[in-house]
Structure 1
Amino acid sequence: MARASLTLIHAFRKTIQKLKQGAAYQWGHMGACNCGNLAQELCSLSKGEIHAFAMQKHGDWNEQLIDYCPTSGYPMDLMIQKMLDEGLTIDELGHLERLSDPVVLADIPFERRMKLEKNRKEDVLLYMETWLRQLEAAWTREQPLPDFSEASPKKVEKESEKVLV
């Protein structure tokens, strides 16, 4: 699974919110598809900029991920590198475009999972929301718990309030 970070979690939340509020979604458009919408948030680029970068090379997201070269200097490769730097993997990006990651799909009820379509906005939202919950859970598990062993009951109570806020 992707390296859970607040930056990645925030990007997923923002992408989901924008899509729900009517942001452009078009699976065949490199800047408005599944990966393109997430890339807008992670890379601070418009759908038009992403699409223009993608047109400098051949293929859709999956083909460009296969051909990805971190030293090519192509803007698309630099953008992919930024997404990798934020904790994603090449495989996860490919799965996002196809809505096919077995780890994400495992948390979607079977009947619904079997009807997912890679180019339906509602399905992309379900997939991203599921992945977001997984990322948030992983991030929460990775956070160190405060050491209350030497604290007085009042201090423990105040520390607990901080964690809950």
Structure 2
Amino acid sequence: MKPVHPELIAAIERTAKKLKEGAAYQWGHMGACNCGNLAQELTPFTKAEIHRYAMERSGDWNDQILEFCPSSGYPLDLIIERMLAYGVTLEDLKHLERLSSPEVLSKMPLNRRNSLSHNKKEDVIYYLETWGKLLREKWENQQPELKIDTLKKNSISVH
């Protein structure tokens, strides 16, 4: 099992919370879509900057992930590389954009899982919350003596 980073869990939870509280969401906007909202939490970039960087190459997040090359010099590749440093994988990002991780989906009731729409804000929030809970459980199983406190961006506390 790959190690789970508490910073990633906190970022996923913050992303869900921000979306719930009204943060901009637009599936067709590279900085305000599923991956774009998480990128805002894992990097110092705004939705406008993420979108602008993504427009330097064609395609949506899945296309950009397929073309990912850390030495390309494309700013979105640098953003993806920063995200990977927190323990998210390219597969995780592909699944997030389509709400399709079999592991995350297996934690959802069948009727809810089968009705998810990858471009519906409420479904993205539910997916993020489920993914966060799954990762939190994994992390706590890897570190049974420690617990994670969800804190502000770029700040994590482990007890």
- Fold agreement, TM-score > 0.5: yes
**TM-score normalised to the size of structure 1?**
0.85
Please give the alpha-carbon distance, in whole angstroms, between the structure 1 residues aligned to 2:3 and 2:99. 19
Please give the alpha-carbon distance, in whole angstroms, between the structure 1 residues aligned to 2:129 and 2:32. 18
Please give the alpha-carbon distance, in whole angstroms, between the structure 1 residues aligned to 2:101 and 2:13. 19
Shift of the alpha carbon at 1:144? 5.0
1:64 alignment counterpart: 64
1:137 alignment counterpart: 137
Q: Which runs of 5+ in 2 are unaligned?
A: 147-158
Please give the alpha-carbon distance, in whole angstroms, between the structure 2 residues aligned to 1:100 and 1:21. 24
Q: Which runs of 5+ in 1 are unaligned?
A: 147-164
Shift of the alpha carbon at 1:47? 0.4
Aligned partners of 1:3 and 1:88 also within 8 Å: no
Residues 1:16 and 2:16 are matched in the alignment: yes
Shift of the alpha carbon at 1:3? 3.9
1:32 alignment counterpart: 32
Taking only the aligned residue pairs, the percentage that are identical comes to 54
Shift of the alpha carbon at 1:145? 3.7
Relative CO higher for 1 or 2, CA cutoff 8 Å, sep ≥ 6?
2
- For these two proteins, the number of residue pairs brought into alignment is 147
* C-alpha spacing 1:107/1:144, structure 2 compared with 1 (3 Å): closer
Cα offsets for 1:79-128 (capped at 9, x unmatched): 00111111011111001000000000000100110000000011001100
After TM superposition, which residue ranges in structure 1, 4 or more long, deviate above 3 angstroms? none
Larger radius of gyration: 1
The two structures, once aligned, show a CA RMSD in angstroms of 1.5
From the two aligned structures, give the one with the greater helix fraction: 1
